[in-house]
Amino acid sequence: MSSRSIAEPAATPNARGSSDRCEVRAAEPPRQARGLAWVAGAFVICPCHLPITLAVGAALLGSTAAGVALRAHPIVAGLLITIAWALATWHGFRLMGGARR
């Protein structure tokens, strides 16, 4: 019996004498779908939902240092959420625009 596992296929030498293994990678979703996912995710943290986002964030982080910081500095938290929303929306539209090229 060999020391190689049963699930591991034997590597065959190529023309140069080294062995190459076939790598299986998951198919990447199309840019259009990734862009839509980014825009939909950005919608969740949209500044028009800011009171809800801050309330949910404070509830989830209630007994942590991040929760204390969120409750003590709501304007800074709102600015950070707004910047994150703008960047996520921009990235999503950029992905969708690049899919058409």
Q: Is residue 38 part of a domain?
A: no
- Per residue in 66-97, pLDDT tens? 888 888 898 998 899 999 999 999 999 999 88
| CA 32/CA 39 separation, integer angstroms | 11
Region of 21 (left: φ > 0; alpha: ψ -120 to 50; beta: rest) is: beta
Q: Is residue 30 part of a domain?
A: no
Q: Is residue 89 part of a domain?
A: yes
Cβ–Cβ < 8 Å for 25, 83: no
Q: Is residue 53 part of a domain?
A: yes
DSSP characters for 10-62? PPPB-TTS-B--PPP-PPPPPHHHHHHHHHHHHHHT-GGGHHHHHHHHHHHTT
Count up the domains in the chain and report the number: 1
Q: Is residue 86 part of a domain?
A: yes
Structural domain range at position 49: 45-99
Q: Is residue 32 part of a domain?
A: no
Q: Is residue 4 part of a domain?
A: no
Q: Which residues pair with 13 in a beta bridge?
A: 19
Q: Is residue 50 part of a domain?
A: yes
The overall pTM is greater than 0.75: no
- Per residue in 3-40, pLDDT tens? 555 555 555 555 565 555 666 666 667 888 899 999 99
